[in-house]
Amino acid sequence: MRNPYKKEEPSASALVQIIVRITSMRVHSIAIADPPLRSSYGLHSPYALRTILELESDDHIIGISETHGGDAIAAGFESLKSKIIGADPYSLCGSLLPMIEDDPHGTSLDRSQTYYVPGENPLDAAARLYSAIEIACLDLIGKTVGKPVCDLLGGRARNEVPFSAYLFYKHAGGGGEGSDARTNEDEYGEGLTPEAMVHQAKQMIAKYGFRDIKLKAGVLEPDLEIETIVRLRRAFGPQVPLRLDPNCAWSVETSIRIGDALKDELSGTGYLEDPTSSIDGMAAVRKGLLETGNRMPLASNVAVTSFADLPEAIEKDAVQIVLCDPHYWGGLRQVQHLGKLCRTFSLGLSMHSNSHLGVSLMAMAHAAAATPHLAYACDTHYPWQSEKDEVVAGGRVPIIDGCVRIPDKLGLGVELDHDQLARGRERYKNCPYRKRDDAAEMRKHVDPHWQRVLPRW
Amino acid sequence: MRNPYKKEEPSASALVQIIVRITSMRVHSIAIADPPLRSSYGLHSPYALRTILELESDDHIIGISETHGGDAIAAGFESLKSKIIGADPYSLCGSLLPMIEDDPHGTSLDRSQTYYVPGENPLDAAARLYSAIEIACLDLIGKTVGKPVCDLLGGRARNEVPFSAYLFYKHAGGGGEGSDARTNEDEYGEGLTPEAMVHQAKQMIAKYGFRDIKLKAGVLEPDLEIETIVRLRRAFGPQVPLRLDPNCAWSVETSIRIGDALKDELSGTGYLEDPTSSIDGMAAVRKGLLETGNRMPLASNVAVTSFADLPEAIEKDAVQIVLCDPHYWGGLRQVQHLGKLCRTFSLGLSMHSNSHLGVSLMAMAHAAAATPHLAYACDTHYPWQSEKDEVVAGGRVPIIDGCVRIPDKLGLGVELDHDQLARGRERYKNCPYRKRDDAAEMRKHVDPHWQRVLPRW
């Protein structure tokens, strides 16, 4: 650990590297209560699954990251253990780069996650593993050298990262099963009507100060979802940008009809996200909208899920805003690459989210801080998770005026509460869920014959 | 400088950043002997101008970088001094990002450096300043934390970076004026015929082990340049890729004729670089070549000099290989972004060079090491510079088997020899050159009426 440059008379010939090695890896599969949120994928199960990765150095400094949960990703980390233990956290990401540089599937898989819930898409399986390792290494490095992660990535373009209110149609219930279900407050109550969603938005904005609103759609009849957006616009005014995301539930014709009905409401810095499936479907919607002079941008995290999708999407003008996600696109540096690419091709850049805790929230905030082009407010499910399940020491990360502030702390800026982590592991052990399956939950609780048929309308 | 994570019992509440500040900046304008090399820009003057930037921290650690020379860039650094002094080297690049994120010229300037010698293109003036600051910060950080620069950038994709032999038609002379001219050996002698260029290549390859050859063309009649390439192929065989770069000296028709004449010689991993000017011109050459089934790739660092040029170049299939340059594209991270963009759009990536010393060579090597897609051998003028002018402590950086090896040293892996630096400054002071002007040199030494007329043939 001696740095020859710090001697009084540095010797040019005696340059010795300061070596930090990763000496242990711990993978924590946890379950966190999740309310019965609806989407075109189906229904959220009572627990969302997450994975917390810890990489510890021989200096006893611990780097952490969070990603989606289940047995498959935990096994993925274990399979890489021999490459991780003993590695220098600075060079590990370089040595693992072939995982994400060479698309392991090439053209052998359908290039879309239309029919996969996020976290279960085989196209980005390697990128998801890589991301979590990169983020934990960056946290470890930041805590070792005394810097926030965004500054390790070239410095920050912003100190405050805006997030968006994320509304969901939902059944009554606060998440969890058994004693969890009994003690978890149903903070937002049932939300299955346009009126209820305005109430949900008011509650969420009052608590967090969000300045953008996203509605997860593809759940009710299209006219009710149109009405929801119209009521939100009436309640919050044109200064609050609105986003609508039915996760491919609509046909091209329905998408154009809804886009035209909401031309004013989704204009400006709002957008229509994944109204229909596939690059060709999105291009057809765009074409149809443009024919009536409707320049509403289309955003996507379904038609476009990786760099390999971009050339075709750009050529066909299928997507005007890419929704990145550091968990799925290969980590924070890949999000920076994507940001420059989007800027170069005049595409917007926003950020996708899944149910998550504070470690992921901070990784998302650092990614956005270090990516100048990421100017849209990021999505976050954070309001749907409970303080009771937070694994971050000191409790939940504050969202103030809709923003997460990059703290004057090292690495990601958060550490683990090991009692809370143990509680999450215990829940994981005791709950029956091992991967995300929203369709199965839908059949169990809402309609025993439910299938995810696309387009539904 | 206390890191709270290194205590026995780290305290979550007492996270204190370790602050390193830049306390001084030194800008060294130097002149180095340069032989009378020819190109379509004209003639190299007896001295190439370079600038060495030193940024020193309050820990007395010094980060260095090298860029093109002259009074203008030195004044540019001075104008940024108030932003640099006192800054944290980790966050400085983030705070300066608007310099390169927002193209200050937009569409107000011709988007091509056809008529500018590299280093004098107003389009990349801000990127050139930013690059040198970023590289010096990375060197400073690497020397502070004990890591090579490429590992600060996400880890290396390769340890050995291949460079290409760079042949120039040249007049007799070893560079420099007065006593410099008398003592500088004319190592390669006059090279104004096809035969002489084969000899030059053999000499250079024997000394450095290069496995690729680039010929700077646009100097002799096209048929003599064709003959030069044919003779090089005959001398070195198909296993040595050949590149030909006339810097826009040819019309579209001449470019197609030469491309067809050299179809075999420039195929495989060779390429034809900037045969003609402008994106439209390059696209017309590409179209003409493809019509005869000639898929020889076209490379460019003239039609495409910045991210803003890429959408049109890609749409028109004008360029198949982009020549990046960390000095001109905004530094090492921007080269990484460009690498991912090129990979995404199935473009190749190679690297441009200007007359330079060992500090630049190391920055180029680290850029290539940290950019997986940069698989082409990089250009380098290094063989044309003299050991006598090297400012790197311990003498010139070794090129072995055509490669620069990333050394097990901190930062860029080199330090300054201050006596040599003083010698370079003295030469700068005494020589009459303050910017690069190859046309003026051409008029002075070769043809008093010479003008850079494009296309010349």
pLDDT tens digit at each of 457 positions of chain A: 344 444 444 433 334 456 789 999 999 999 999 999 999 999 999 999 999 999 999 999 999 999 999 999 999 999 999 999 999 999 999 999 988 887 555 555 566 667 777 778 888 889 999 999 999 999 999 999 999 999 999 989 999 999 999 999 999 999 999 999 999 999 999 999 999 999 999 999 999 999 999 999 999 999 999 999 999 999 999 999 999 999 999 999 999 999 999 999 998 889 999 999 999 999 999 999 999 999 999 999 999 998 999 999 999 999 999 999 999 999 999 999 999 999 999 999 999 999 999 999 999 999 999 999 999 999 999 999 999 999 999 999 999 999 999 999 999 999 999 999 999 999 999 999 998 999 999 999 999 999 999 999 9
What is the predicted pLDDT for the residue at B103?
Answer: 59
Give B2→chain A minimum CA distance, Å: 9
Sign of the dihedral through C-alpha B261, B267, B271, B277: positive
Residues of B in contact with A148 (CB under 8 A): 17
| Of A151, A310, A337, Cβ closest to residue B336 | A337
End-to-end CA distance of chain A: 63
User: Per the structure block, which two tokens stand in for A148?
Assistant: 């926030």
Give the chain B residue nearest A407 (alpha carbons): B15
Q: Is A362 left (phi over 0), alpha (psi -120 to 50) or beta?
A: alpha
Partners of residue A408 in chain B, C-beta under 8 Å? 15, 17
The residue type of A370 is A
| Per-residue confidence (pLDDT) for residue B118, from 0 to 100 | 77
Helix/strand/coil for A28: strand
B404, B239 contact by CB (below 8 A): no
Query: Using the beta-carbon criterion (under 8 Å), do A3 and B144 form an inter-chain contact?
Result: yes
Mutate which of A5, A96, A102, A304 to disrupt the B interface (most B C-beta within 10 Å)? A5
Per the CB < 8 A criterion, the answer to whether B145 and B90 are in contact is no
- Span B415-432, average pLDDT: 97
Question: Cβ A146–B308 below 8 Å, yes or no?
Answer: no
End-to-end CA distance of chain B: 63
Best of B1, B9, B15, B314 to disrupt the A interface (most A CBs within 10 Å) is B15
Summary mean pLDDT of chain B:
93
* Concatenated DSSP letters of A123-188: GGHHHHHHHHHHHHHHHHHHHHHT-BHHHHTT--S-SEEEB-EEEE-B-S--S-STHHHHHS--SS
Catalytic center residues of B: 216, 352
Residues of B in contact with A95 (CB under 8 A): 155
A97·B154 Cβ contact <8 A: yes
Least confident range from A219-228, B10-19, B384-393, B418-427: namely: B10-19
For residue B373, which residues of chain A lie inside 8 Å, CB to CB? 101
Tell me which of A112 and B381 has the higher pLDDT: B381
Residues 6 or more apart whose Cβ sits within 8 Å of residue A432: none
pLDDT recorded at residue B105: 54
- Distance, in Å, from the CA atom of A214 to the CA atom of A197, rounded to the nearest integer, reads 11
pLDDT at B20: 87
pLDDT number for residue B121: 81
**pLDDT, position A416:** 98
| Interface contact B17-A408, CB threshold 8 A | yes
Choose among B59, B97, B334: nearest Cβ to A155: B97
**Of all helices (H) and strands (E), which one includes residue A276?**
none
Can you give the pLDDT at residue B110?
Answer: 60
Chain B's closest residue to A339, CA to CA, is B337
pLDDT of residue A67: 97
Backbone angles phi, psi at A248, to 5 degrees: 70, 20
Among candidate residues A216, A327, A356, A381, the one labeled active-site is: A216
Amino acid A7: pLDDT:
42
Q: Nearest-CA distance from B195 to chain A in Å?
A: 43
Looking at beta carbons, which residues of chain B come within 8 Å of A106?
A: none
* Least trusted range by pLDDT, from A13-27, B182-196, B294-308, B399-413: A13-27
Reading the block at residue A82, the tokens are: 């021999």
Residue A154 with chain B: CB contacts under 8 Å: 93-94, 97, 134, 333
Give residue A295's pLDDT: 96
What is d(CA A14, CA A399) in angstroms, rounded to the nearest whole number? Answer: 48
User: For residue A72, what pLDDT is reported?
Assistant: 94
Q: Chain A contacts of B413, Cβ < 8 Å?
A: 15
With contact defined as beta carbons under 8 Å apart, do A357 and A69 qualify?
A: no
Contact A162, A403 (CB under 8 A): yes
Rounded Cα distance, B366 and B358, in Å: 12
| Distance from the B287 Cα atom to the nearest Cα atom in chain A, whole angstroms | 19
**Candidates B10, B91, B145; nearest CB to A145:** B145
Contact yes or no for A146 and B3 at CB 8 A: yes
Would you place residue B192 in the very low, low, confident or very high pLDDT band (cuts 50, 70, 90)?
very high
Is B150's CB within 8 Å of A344's CB?
no
**Mean per-residue pLDDT, B6-21:** 52
For the stretch B129-157, pLDDT in tens is 999 999 999 999 999 999 999 999 998 99
Q: Which of A143, A214, A352, A381 is catalytic?
A: A352
What residues contact A416, with CB distance under 8 A and at least 6 apart?
A: A52, A54, A62, A64, A359, A391, A392, A393
Do A146 and B16 lie within an 8 Å CB cutoff? Answer: yes
Predicted confidence at residue B117, as pLDDT, reads 77
Please report the pLDDT score of residue B108 as a whole number.
Answer: 53
Q: Does the distance separating the beta carbons of A91 and B151 come in below 8 Å?
A: yes
Report the chain A residue with the minimal C-alpha distance to residue B138: A154
- For CA atoms B337, B340, B346, B350, the dihedral sign is positive
Cβ-proximal residues to A301 (8 Å cutoff; 6+ apart), any chain: A118, A273, A274, A322, A323, A324, A325, A352
A352 is an active site residue: yes
pLDDT digits (tens, 9 = 90+) for B70-126: 999 999 999 999 999 999 999 999 999 988 887 555 555 566 667 777 778 888 889
User: For the sheet containing A47-57, what is the strand order?
Assistant: A22-33, A47-57, A62-68
Query: Is the CB of residue A194 less than 8 Å from the CB of residue A217?
Result: no
Residue A358: which of A129, A140, A65 has the closest Cα? A65
Q: How much is the pLDDT for B112?
A: 62
Residue A416 CB-half CA count within 13 A: 24
Mean pLDDT of B446-457: 96
Q: What one-character DSSP code corresponds to residue A416?
A: B
Tokens of A449: 């014959």
Q: Which strands, in side-by-side order, build the sheet including A213-216?
A: A165-168, A213-216, A242-245, A271-273, A298-300, A321-324, A348-351
Q: Which residues in chain A have Cβ-Cβ distances shorter than 8 Å to B7?
A: none
Mean pLDDT across B404-424: 97
Q: Which of B5, B111, B138 to mutate: most A Cβ within 10 Å?
A: B5
pLDDT at A108: 54
User: How far from B29 is each of A174, A304, A372, B72, B429, CA to CA, in Å?
Assistant: 67, 48, 32, 10, 9
